A = this chain, B = another copy of it.
Amino acid sequence: MTAFIEGARAGDVRMIARLISQIEDGGGAAREAMRALATFAGRAHVIGITGAPGVGKSTTTSAIITALRNDGQRVAVLAVDPSSPFSGGALLGDRIRMQRHSGDSGVYIRSMASRGHLGGLAATTPQVIRVLDAAGFDVVIIETVGVGQSEVEIAETADTSIVLSAPGMGDGIQAAKAGILEIGDIFVVNKADRDGADATARELRHMVELGSWQGWKPPVVKASAVQGTGMDEVMAAIADHRAWLAASGEDRLRRLRRAREEITALVLGAVRQRLADRSDELAALADDVLSGRTDAFAAAERFD
């Protein structure tokens, strides 16, 4: 185990990969690794990229990687894909899009399974960030698929959250409906060469104006990750936000929140484990609830 940790700290990609797998599996090895890495304070900048399916998250991530590499920074990417019986994790399209970075030792890309470990992504994501941070990556990008509750939680672990949309896909109202407006530090309207990009940007700006922002007002940037346009503005917005985080002390608050979420996820994960260990009892109680012999509250108290 110490070999993994030492290897990961030295930036050995195979050791990093094995350490992350152990974290995903949960159990004693993850625990030991976290104990060993506890004193590595957060140095890496964590960027979250989220948005509805089809807005071009992978392409945008790839463009951001390129910009960061041109700036000499080492970049790790965590792609949070729901484990699907169809895909078995990342799909071919993304792999192809990411392939241009595959020969670059300054880039590490990893798909994360969204199921499995009982603590869930809310527990594993901060731990994996810690590993990548200790391994010397300057930036960690977390790319989440979709816009649900658990993904909002993951986005909240980022220092800088980028919410991506595209014309005709998810306009401002749809973004508000999906609850992603409140988590965005930067809004990027991708596919800016398409009809409706200006309208989408205008609507997002209007939504931002309606919100109550303190200290940082999220900019709305138009870009085309495929054509490479607007990426300078995206990178400038990221740098601005990072500077604001440091100057305002908000970076420390976000990292405290991340630690709190990690502890909470581990506590809940332990309870889930206890429920899994007593699954026969849980099944019998579910049967009792279904047949009206008891109610769900009374059944839940049996696990107190």
Contact = CB atoms under 8 A, between A and B. Distances in A.
Contacts of A150: 148-150
Given A53-B178, A179-B84, A283 B268 contact: no
A263 interface: yes
Interface secondary structure of A, over-half rule: helix
A128 to B, nearest CB: 12
B262 A289 contact: yes
A182 interface: yes
Q: This chain: how many copies in the complex?
A: 2
Interface in A44-62: 52-54
A300 interface: yes
27 contacts: A30-B297, A34-B295, A35-B298, A40-B292, A53-B177, A84-B176, A84-B182, A85-B181, A87-B177, A91-B173, A120-B149, A145-B178, A146-B148, A148-B148, A168-B168, A257-B286, A259-B286, A260-B282, A263-B286, A263-B300, A264-B272, A264-B275, A266-B296, A266-B299, A267-B271, A267-B304, A268-B271
Interface of A: 30-31, 34-35, 37-42, 52-54, 81-87, 91, 93, 114, 120-121, 123, 126-127, 145-152, 168-171, 173-179, 181-182, 207, 210-212, 252, 255-257, 259-260, 262-264, 266-268, 270-272, 275, 282-283, 285-287, 289-300, 303-304
